[in-house]
Amino acid sequence: MNESFRAGDPALSDSRILLGAAALLAVAVFLIDALTPLDIAIAVLYVVVVLLVALTGSRRATLAVAVVCAVLTVIGFLLSKGAHMGGGSLARCVFSLLAIGITSLLAVRNLASNARLREQVQMLDMTHDAIVVYDLNDIITFWNHGAEEVYGWTAAQAIGQPMHSLTQTRFPIPPERIHEELLRNGRWDGELERVRRDGARVVISSRWALWRDGAGKPVAIIATNNDITERQRAEAALAQSEAFLAEAQQLSKTGSIAMRLPEGAMTWSDEAYSIFGYGRDVQPSAERVIERTHPEDLALVQAAREQARAGVPQIDVAHRLLLPDGTVKHVHLVARRTVAAAGRYEYVGALMDVTDTTLTQQALQRTLSELAHVMRVTTLGELAASIAHEVTQPIAAIVTCGDSALRWLNRPQPEVGEATESIRQMIRDARRSSEIIRQIRSMAQKRDPSYAEMDLNALVDESLALVRRELQDHHVEAELRLGEPPALICGDRIQLQQVLINLLMNAVQAMDSVGGRRCLRVATRAADERHVRVEVRDSGKGIAPEDAGRLFNAFFTTKADGMGMGLSICRSIIEAHGGRIWAESPPEGGALLQVLLPLHEPDDGDAAGVAGGNTKGASHEQ
């Protein structure tokens, strides 16, 4: 098909040759016809002239030459009329004119249909698809520009070649089956592997149609092809990265969640479905999340939902899920807002199943609490003398005041006013000793941490009171500087008191081995607008540089009878309160132990969350 267009569409130089040959032939025919006495219809040969000009593809030239040939035929007839006049000559002239006319008409019609076909072929050439036609013997008869680009061979190189050997086609199924389907349905489509002219292997998406002639006999296959190598590669890469992501999500138990607002449409990754315990047929929605939320944590999730509706930049919520089979999961969702268009935004986030971590942390918390209790009881043993003093001192005062009250009353003229004052003092002392006993009892008790707001200055003061006797016994001068205004913190009073007593006792012991003045300076001061600091400074032996890095390690001790658990427990307690504890060696000597604690913010649920173990704050930054 294409070859015929290429033959009927000669280059400019070919056209000139054709026109030259046609002109020569026309002149020769005219001379022979007009000047020779030959008694034959020589003018019929003008049809060859017309056909030669038609080969140039020009309709106008063909018609013009046809007219010229007809005129030459008539002139030739007239010139030869004198010599060879007769009925035969006229008949030959008419016959020649008829032949020229019919041939010209057919040539012009042929040219018109060729032009139409040529336009269609040009359109096929314009498409990016590679269009190839090959006959049933696999020989290529048409090869468009797209095919040249996809396979690398030009039309001239490809036409006449066997299609499948030229491109080394690899079929997905046996070619016979493809042919059967083609004969049955008239079409086939599938993916083939082929080799380009430059040796590169390409994947082709191919659609074949069977072309039948007027009698319905199959004559050729028209194939439309697209190179999908890159697309396939990209799809494979995408599939691989999706598989990686799914694998990583499964391993880390982290699902992805997206929510578009204001409409609230949600998207979950496979792992998110699995965390919520839903099948893939379920449509993700906030209601579905609520359905799975633990009833006790509904408020947390609803609050996060409200935050999303309000468009806060980041949402961070930890809560529990209660699955239909009774399983409880701890999850932590962190999501960021991305703005899609004015008034519309999307949250994209990670939903982490932190059940294992949370349970481990809770177990750790329990162990820490038990260990802290053991240490408290041990400390109480060490503080026995101080405690006895703290309790007996007010009791002795009560006795003294009782005596005085009796004396005031037993006077001949009882001094009721003085006696009342003595009794008031007795009540104050009794309250003080009962408060001390209450503190000692709570320190000795085994209990779960309970977080409450408290004044840090009062806590430091009380802790110092408990070790006052120790300080006296070890000849330690204590100086207390409490920052103003008093700092409010949120924490477990007993645990924090344990930390302070531990630091104070360590300071006392560190000063035991040194001579000279023993100074203990305790201070509270604001660290920044969100934190407060407690400093415990002593004039003891200080911290050796090689010990500095392991002071807070469990079982590290430099004391003969030490256990090495005190500072380690202090660190766990302070970290659980969202704070930090560290030791320094000040240039003036001794040691400086510092505790940094977050100030209490009324809406801050962090510290309480640690105690409850069911909200965020399972891992606190220091």
- Using CB under 6 A, list all residues that contact ligand ADP: 502, 506-507, 510, 538, 540-543, 551, 556-559, 562-568, 591, 593
Cβ neighbour number for residue 295 with a 10 Å cutoff: 8
- Note the Cα 339 to chain centre separation in Å: 16
* 272, 318, 444 from 355: Cα distances, Å: 14, 11, 32
**Min. distance of Cβ 558 from ligand ADP in angstroms?**
3
Measured from the CB atom, the residue of 405 and 567 that comes closer to ligand ADP is 567
**Closer CB to ligand ADP, residue 51 or residue 551?**
551
Q: Least distance in Å: CB of 459 to ligand ADP?
A: 19
Q: Nearest distance from residue 536's CB to ligand ADP, in Å?
A: 7
Q: Which residue is nearest to ligand ADP (CB)?
A: 566
How far is residue 469's CA from residue 382's CA, in Å, rounded to a whole number?
11
Residue 327 has which token pair? Answer: 């399983």
C-beta closer to ligand ADP: residue 300 or 551: 551
Contacts of 252 (CB under 8 A, 6+ apart): 352
What is the distance between the terminal CA atoms of the chain, rounded to a whole angstrom?
81
Instruction: Write down the least CB distance from residue 559 to ligand ADP, Å.
Output: 4
Cα–Cα distance measured from residue 146 to residue 142, given in angstroms and rounded to the nearest whole number: 11
Residue the block writes with tokens 């030739």: 76
Looking at residue 574, the DSSP 8-state letter turns out to be H
Q: Which CB sits closer to ligand ADP, 111 or 494?
A: 494
Name the residue among 63, 50, 59 with its Cα closest to residue 23. 50
Distance of closest approach, residue 353 Cβ to ligand ADP, in angstroms? 36
Report how far residue 162's alpha carbon sits from residue 170's, in angstroms, rounded to the nearest whole number.
Answer: 14
61 or 569: CB nearest ligand ADP: 569
Q: For residues 106 and 102, what is the distance between their CA atoms, to the nearest angstrom? A: 6
Q: Cα–Cα distance between 37 and 42 in angstroms, integer?
A: 11
| 471, 389 contact by CB (below 8 A) | no
Residues whose CB falls within 8 Å of the CB of residue 474, separated by 6 or more in sequence, listed in order: 508, 511, 512, 518
Number of CB atoms found within 10 A of residue 52's CB: 21
Whether 213 and 205 have beta carbons less than 8 Å apart is answered as no
| Element of type H or E holding 490 | strand 488-491
Question: Closest CB to ligand ADP among 315 and 593?
Answer: 593
Element (H, E) at 261: strand 254-261
Q: How many CB atoms lie within 10 A of CB 21?
A: 15
Measured between alpha carbons, how far is 522 from 503 in angstroms, rounded to an integer? 10
For residues 319 and 292, is the Cβ–Cβ distance under 8 A?
A: no
Count Cβ atoms below 10 Å from residue 559 Cβ, excluding itself: 12
CB nearer to ligand ADP: pick between 174 and 515: 515
Q: Which is nearer to ligand ADP, 279 or 587 (CB)?
A: 587
Question: Which residues, 6+ apart, have CB-to-CB distance to 18 below 8 Å?
Answer: 10, 52, 53, 55, 56
How far, in Å, CA of 117 to CA of 186, rounded? Answer: 23
